[in-house]
């Protein structure tokens, strides 16, 4: 039931093919953690769980917030989905689950194709325009989406991907990317250029200050070392006099 609700929520809010795949049975909890989040009952309906508990004679608890109609998921669960089953098709939820499975499989294939295109088109300075333009539009756009996300650290909007695609096709122009940076195109390449928060002259000033600070610390160490050497030995005769 959660999977059906998730697919419908994403459909109504607006989503791409990947959104139709819903929640995954398992996924990494975080990119830097070797911990898997597993949903073992994802494909099990609430009715099946309740029937099983009744068969075992086991009582259960329900979260009171599940009945709060202020939440969109609860409105779907209590009103929208039952209405669809009654007036559209009694097996509508099963059809939505099949859609989610097919969407996930298709998205995985497209991701593989986009990854292969990125590896082929990537150069030291940017992506080759000729290879991007030769690819199917859906693969090209997915490649740009992944590339922009990796460089900017943010999920690019559909508008940003569209504007970058236009620059790619035109072979000139610049697009500012949220998160800092810009994308520009020429006859051969599509380039992502990161932008620093400090202007160049400020960076030179910081670098100079750091260098002066390091030089001063070295000089202090040399002076202390010299004092220790003098203090550890007798001074020459002309100094004692």
Mean pLDDT comparison of 146-150, 205-209, 234-238, highest-scoring range? 146-150
pLDDT score of 204: 41
pLDDT level of residue 9 (50, 70, 90 thresholds): very high
Quickly count: other Cβ atoms within 10 Å of residue 97's Cβ. Answer: 19
Cα torsion angle, 167, 168, 170, 171, sign = positive
Q: To the nearest whole number, what is the mean pLDDT of the chain?
A: 83
- Compute the distance between CA of residue 169 and CA of residue 54 in angstroms, rounded to an integer: 62
Name the least confident of 28-32, 53-57, 97-101. 28-32
Helical axes 137-152 vs 158-170, angle rounded to 10°: 110
- Compute the distance between CA of residue 109 and CA of residue 175 in angstroms, rounded to an integer: 29
- What does the pLDDT average to over 122-140? 96
Q: Going by C-beta distance under 8 Å and a sequence separation of 6 or more, which residues neighbour residue 168?
A: 129, 132, 133, 140, 144, 185, 190
Mean pLDDT comparison of 52-66, 88-102, 133-147, 192-206, highest-scoring range? 133-147
Q: Is the pLDDT of residue 200 over 90?
A: no
DSSP 235: P
Which residue from 4, 127, 138, 126 is spatially nearest to 77, judged by alpha carbons?
Answer: 4
pLDDT score of 216: 54
Q: Is the pLDDT of residue 78 over 90?
A: yes
pLDDT score of 32: 75
Cα torsion angle, 184, 186, 190, 194, sign = negative
Give me the residues paired with residue 237 across strands: none
Give me the residues paired with residue 26 across strands: 38
pTM score, two decimals? Answer: 0.69
Q: Is the pLDDT of residue 203 over 80?
A: no
């Amino acid at each position: 039931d959660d999977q059906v609700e998730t697919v419908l929520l994403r459909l109504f809010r607006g989503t791409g093919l990947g959104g139709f795949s819903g929640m995954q049975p398992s996924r990494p909890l975080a990119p830097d953690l070797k911990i898997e989040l597993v949903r073992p009952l994802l494909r099990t309906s609430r009715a099946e769980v309740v029937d099983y508990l009744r068969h075992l004679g086991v009582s259960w608890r329900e979260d009171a917030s599940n009945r709060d109609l202020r939440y969109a998921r609860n409105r779907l669960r209590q009103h929208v989905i039952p209405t669809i089953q009654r007036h559209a098709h009694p097996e509508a939820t099963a059809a939505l689950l099949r859609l989610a499975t097919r969407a996930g499989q298709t998205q995985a294939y497209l991701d593989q194709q986009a990854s292969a295109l990125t590896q082929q088109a990537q150069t030291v300075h940017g992506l080759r325009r000729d290879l991007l333009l030769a690819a199917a539009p859906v693969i090209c756009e997915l490649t740009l989406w992944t590339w922009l996300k990796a460089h900017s650290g943010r999920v690019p909007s559909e508008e940003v991907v569209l504007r970058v695609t236009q620059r790619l096709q035109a072979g000139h122009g610049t697009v500012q990317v949220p998160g800092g940076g810009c994308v520009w195109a020429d006859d051969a390449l599509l380039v992502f250029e990161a932008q620093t928060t400090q202007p160049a002259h400020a960076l030179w000033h910081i670098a100079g200050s750091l260098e002066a600070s390091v030089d001063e610390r070295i000089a202090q160490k040399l002076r202390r070392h010299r004092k220790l050497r003098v203090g550890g030995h007798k001074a020459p005769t002309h100094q004692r006099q």
